[in-house]
Amino acid sequence: MSVRVRRIYEPPEPDDGLRVLVDRLWPRGLAKDAAHVDEWPKGLTPSAELRKWYHAGEGSYEEFRRRYEAELDAPEAAGLLDGLRRSAREGRVTLLTASKTPGESHARVLAELLSG
């Protein structure tokens, strides 16, 4: 499987493969045609409550990950995750996020779940 995480503000690259926005909200200041997004599965994103909790600095990345993985067990999210796994088996999948720290974000959790 070939999955990677990139910031959506970086220019698209020819080897990105399927470009999937994994943020619930559209990134500020970015035109939709400039983003070159192929899919935007909002059902895979952390809930608003979890996102606010994590961004408020109330918990660790490990606790965020645990709570987010529990949310991904819900039927809609699990189905979307399975679909992305199939896509990753067929070619590269690039998960796009506006997060300033993609290495400690939900995008990293998704990438690891898809690659594992």
pLDDT at 82: 95
pLDDT at residue number 1: 64
pLDDT digits (tens, 9 = 90+) for 4-62: 999 999 999 999 999 999 999 999 999 998 899 999 999 999 999 999 999 888 889 99
Task: Break the chain into its structural domains and give their ranges.
Answer: 3-115
| Bridge partners for 18 per DSSP | 93
Q: Give the residue, 90 or 55, on which the prediction is more confident.
A: 90
Q: How far apart are the first and last CA of the chain?
A: 9
Q: What are the angstrom distances between the C-alpha of 51 and each of 14, 106, 108?
A: 31, 9, 14
Contact of 92 with 60, CB cutoff 8 Å: no
Token pair in block for residue 52: 């606010």
Q: What is the pTM of this model?
A: 0.93
Alpha-carbon span 3 to 85, nearest angstrom: 9
Tens-place pLDDT, residues 65-77: 999 999 999 999 9
Q: Of 9, 11, 20, 7, which is closest to residue 92 (Cα–Cα)? A: 20
